[in-house]
C-alpha cells in the first residue's frame, strides 16, 4: 500500500480557469487517497465557486513573489512530491528550500511536470520520460514528464472513486428544479464554450427548427458562453422573439457552478457542448453525447489535436463533422446541423468510449504509483 506523502502543486491561472480546475481536482483526488497537498496558485478566486467547501488535507497558498515559505510550514511537512502544472516553472525560492532540505536529509522530492491532455501519438512516446535539471540549486535532479491520456501507456484521466455510483443516484429533473428550471418535454442542451464562429448558426437553427422539430432548452453557463449567446440574441430579432419563450428554442442562463454541479449539469442534459481540458474529461465520464471546443490556436495546432481525439473517440461521421464545424476547421460548411438520429448514434459512441476509458487506472492512481516507484 502506498503511504501518505506531502505533495506541492504549483498552478498559474492563465485564463478560463481550466488550469485551476484540473489542479484542484488533482489536489482533491490526492487528498481523498490520504495524502497532504499544498496548492500554490497565483489566483485562487475561482475556487470560491468552483470548490466552495474546500477539501480536507488541501491547503491553498498564494503564489506570491516571494513565496511565504514560513506560512507553508515546510519544516514540519517537507515537500516529497513536487508538481509543476502545464510547465509553469516553480518559484526558484521553493526549489532552493527543497534543495537545502535534500542536502541535509539526502532525500530529494519527486519532481513532475504535469503536461496537457492530448490523444496525439507523441503522448505515449513522451510520457514518463526523465529530464535532468542542469542549473540552479537543484542541478543534477531529475524532472519527470507526466502526460494525461487515453491509453494504458499514458498517465490516464482524472476520475474520483465512486463517480458512476454517484451518477446513478442523480435525479436530473430535481436538480434542474432546484436551479429554478422547469421543463415541458424539451431536449436539454448545455453550452460551455468560448466564442465559436458557428454559434450564431447553431442558435438560428435551434430557433427555427429545434432538434428535428423537437423544442430545445439551452442551458448556458456563466462567463464567456453567456456573453457570447447574449450578443447573438441581442443582434438577431428572430432570436429575441424565441429566447426565453415557449417556442422551439428557450434559453436559461446559469450562475457559476461548482465542479460538482457542473457534473450535474452534464448528467441532466441530452447533449453537452464543452470546452477545454477539464470539462472534456467530465463530459467523457458523463456518458452523454457531447461536442468539444478546443482552445483555438493561431498556428492551427488544435486541428491535429482534434483529429487525434476524434479517432480515439471512434466518432461517427456526423459527430466528426459537427466537431470540425464547431472548431472552425471547415469554414466553408453550413452551420452545425444535428438530428435525433445523430443524437442516438452519438449516445452510443459516448457510452462505448466511457466503458473503454473506465478500464484504465485514473490519473491520481497512476501518479501515486509512479512516485512510489521513483521515490
Per CATH, 6-157+360-374 and 163-358 having the same topology is answered: yes
Alpha-carbon distance values, 350 to 192, 266, 277, 344, 346 (Å): 18, 13, 17, 10, 6
**With bands split at pLDDT 50, 70 and 90, how would you rate the model's confidence at 72?**
confident
CA 150, distance to chain mean position in Å, is 14
Task: Supply the pLDDT for residue 16.
Answer: 73
Q: Where are the domains of the chain?
A: 6-157+360-374, 163-358
- Go through 214-224 and write b for each residue having 16 or more CB atoms within 10 A of its CB, e for each that does not: ebbbbbbbeee
- The reply to whether 270 belongs to the active site is no
Contacts of 70 (CB under 8 A, 6+ apart): none
Range 93-99, long-range pairs (CB < 8 A, 24+ positions): 93/66, 93/67, 93/69, 94/8, 94/10, 94/40, 94/67, 94/69, 95/136, 95/137, 95/138, 96/136, 96/137, 97/69, 98/138, 99/137, 99/138
Backbone φ, ψ for residue 274 (5° rounding): -125, 165
- The reply to whether 277 belongs to the active site is yes
Task: Please pick, among 19, 84, 263, 362, the residue that the annotation labels catalytic.
Answer: 19
Task: Please pick, among 80, 84, 277, 342, the residue that the annotation labels catalytic.
Answer: 277
Alpha-carbon distance values, 359 to 123, 149, 323, 354 (Å): 19, 13, 26, 9
CA 332, distance to chain mean position in Å, is 30
The CATH fold assigned to 6-157+360-374 is Rossmann fold (3.40.50)
What global pTM score does this model have? 0.94
CA 260 – CA 283 distance, rounded (Å)? 13
Residue percentage of the chain with pLDDT more than 70? 95
CA 180, distance to chain mean position in Å, is 26
The predicted-structure confidence for 282-292, as pLDDT tens digits, reads as follows 999 999 999 99
The predicted-structure confidence for 324-366, as pLDDT tens digits, reads as follows 999 988 766 566 678 999 999 999 999 999 999 999 999 999 9
Q: Are 110 and 371 in contact (CB under 8 A)?
A: yes
- Which carries the bigger pLDDT value, residue 146 or residue 299? 146
Beta bridge partners, 144, equal 112, 130
CA 58 – CA 35 distance, rounded (Å)? 9
Task: Supply the pLDDT for residue 298.
Answer: 75
Task: Supply the pLDDT for residue 166.
Answer: 97
Q: Are 95 and 137 in contact (CB under 8 A)?
A: yes
**With bands split at pLDDT 50, 70 and 90, how would you rate the model's confidence at 17?**
confident
Return mean pLDDT, the chain.
Answer: 92
Residue percentage of the chain with pLDDT more than 90? 79
CA 342 – CA 349 distance, rounded (Å)? 11
Q: Are 248 and 208 in contact (CB under 8 A)?
A: yes
Residue 332 grid cell: 466553408
The CATH number that domain 163-358 falls under is 3.40.50.2000
Amino acid at each position: 500500500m502506498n503511504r501518505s506523502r506531502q505533495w506541492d502543486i504549483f498552478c498559474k491561472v492563465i485564463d478560463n480557469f481550466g488550469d485551476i480546475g484540473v489542479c484542484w481536482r488533482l489536489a482533491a483526488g490526492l487528498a481523498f487517497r490520504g495524502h497532504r497537498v499544498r496548492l500554490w496558485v497565483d489566483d485562487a478566486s475561482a475556487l470560491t465557486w468552483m470548490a466552495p467547501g474546500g477539501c480536507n488535507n488541501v491547503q491553498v497558498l498564494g503564489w506570491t513573489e516571494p513565496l511565504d515559505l514560513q506560512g507553508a510550514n515546510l519544516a514540519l511537512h517537507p515537500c516529497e512530491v513536487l508538481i509543476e502544472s502545464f510547465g509553469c516553472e516553480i518559484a526558484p525560492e521553493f526549489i532552493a528550500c527543497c534543495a537545502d532540505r535534500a542536502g541535509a536529509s539526502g532525500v530529494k522530492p519527486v519532481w513532475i511536470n504535469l503536461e496537457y491532455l492530448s490523444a496525439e501519438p507523441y503522448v505515449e512516446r513522451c510520457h514518463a520520460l526523465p529530464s535532468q535539471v542542469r542549473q540552479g540549486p537543484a542541478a543534477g535532479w531529475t524532472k519527470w514528464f507526466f502526460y494525461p491520456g487515453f491509453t494504458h501507456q499514458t498517465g490516464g484521466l482524472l476520475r474520483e472513486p465512486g463517480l458512476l455510483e454517484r451518477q446513478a443516484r442523480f435525479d436530473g429533473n430535481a436538480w434542474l428544479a432546484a436551479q429554478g428550471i422547469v421543463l415541458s418535454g424539451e431536449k436539454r442542451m448545455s453550452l460551455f464554450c468560448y466564442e465559436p464562429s458557428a454559434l450564431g448558426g447553431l442558435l438560428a437553427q435551434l430557433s427555427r427548427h429545434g432538434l428535428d422539430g423537437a423544442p430545445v432548452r439551452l442551458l448556458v453557463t456563466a462567463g464567456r458562453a453567456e456573453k457570447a449567446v447574449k450578443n447573438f440574441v441581442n443582434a438577431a430579432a428572430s432570436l429575441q422573439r424565441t429566447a426565453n419563450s415557449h417556442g422551439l428554442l428557450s434559453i436559461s442562463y446559469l450562475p457559476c457552478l461548482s465542479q460538482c454541479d457542473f457534473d450535474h449539469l452534464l448528467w441532466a442534459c441530452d447533449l453537452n457542448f464543452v470546452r477545454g481540458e477539464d470539462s472534456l474529461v467530465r463530459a467523457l465520464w458523463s456518458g452523454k453525447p457531447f461536442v468539444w471546443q478546443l482552445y483555438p490556436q493561431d498556428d492551427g495546432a488544435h486541428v491535429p489535436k482534434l483529429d487525434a481525439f476524434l479517432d480515439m473517440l471512434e466518432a461517427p461521421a456526423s459527430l466528426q463533422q459537427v466537431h470540425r464545424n464547431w472548431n472552425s476547421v471547415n469554414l466553408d460548411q453550413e452551420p452545425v446541423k444535428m438530428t435525433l438520429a445523430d443524437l442516438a448514434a452519438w449516445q452510443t459512441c459516448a457510452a462505448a468510449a466511457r466503458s473503454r476509458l473506465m478500464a484504465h487506472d485514473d490519473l491520481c492512481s497512476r501518479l501515486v504509483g509512479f512516485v512510489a516507484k521513483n521515490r
